[in-house]
């Protein structure tokens, strides 16, 4: 069986193509923006969407998770995590040892095997459990 190579870090983010949607919104807002003085502020909405897409991400490495939102950054060492909780909409939240939860932006249930691999065994791989039950 070949040995699995573990990357140094994984970055989970919203695809950059989402910026195209914000740019289309800006183009569609142009007639409205020039309709009256002061309505050009409507361009702040697509700019805010672009900033959110480019800044928000979750980075996983051997040390832990780094969660970045638009204005904040939070580092969660693996030792401070009790586990992960799945949301109804296929999202993932990190459960800390004190019971608080931290949303992991752009991380979905399909990413759990990759998180288990990069955690070095600190997190269980849910697909490995399914494979052992089916065998």
pLDDT at 4 exceeding the cut of 90: no
Tokens found for residue 98 = 């004190």
* CATH class of the structural domain 9-134: mainly beta
**90: phi then psi, degrees, rounded to nearest 5:** 65, 20
Asked if residue 9 lies in contact with residue 122, where contact means CB atoms within 8 angstroms, the answer is no
User: What is the pLDDT at residue 131?
Assistant: 58
Calculate mean pLDDT across residues 97-109.
Answer: 94
In which band, very low, low, confident or very high, does the pLDDT at 48 lie, cut at 50, 70 and 90? Answer: very high
For residue 1, pLDDT over 80 is answered with: no
| List of residues 6+ apart from 82 with CB closer than 8 A | 95, 96, 97, 99
Extents of the domains making up the chain:
9-134
Q: How confident is the model at residue 7 (pLDDT cuts 50, 70, 90)?
A: confident
With a CB cutoff of 8 Å and minimum separation 6, the contacts of 94 are 65, 67, 76, 81, 84, 85, 101, 102, 104
């Amino acid at each position: 069986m070949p040995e699995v190579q573990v990357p140094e870090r994984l970055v989970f983010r919203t695809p950059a193509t989402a910026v195209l949607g914000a740019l289309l919104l800006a183009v569609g807002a142009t007639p409205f923006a020039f309709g009256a003085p002061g309505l050009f502020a409507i361009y702040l909405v697509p700019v805010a969407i672009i900033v959110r897409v480019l800044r928000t991400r979750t980075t996983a490495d051997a040390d832990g998770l780094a969660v970045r939102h638009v204005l904040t950054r939070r580092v969660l060492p693996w030792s401070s995590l009790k586990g992960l909780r799945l949301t109804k909409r296929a999202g993932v939240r990190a459960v800390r040892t004190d019971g608080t939860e931290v949303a992991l932006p752009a991380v979905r249930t399909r990413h759990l095997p990759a998180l288990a691999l990069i955690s070095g065994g600190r997190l269980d791989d849910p697909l490995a459990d399914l494979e052992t039950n089916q065998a």
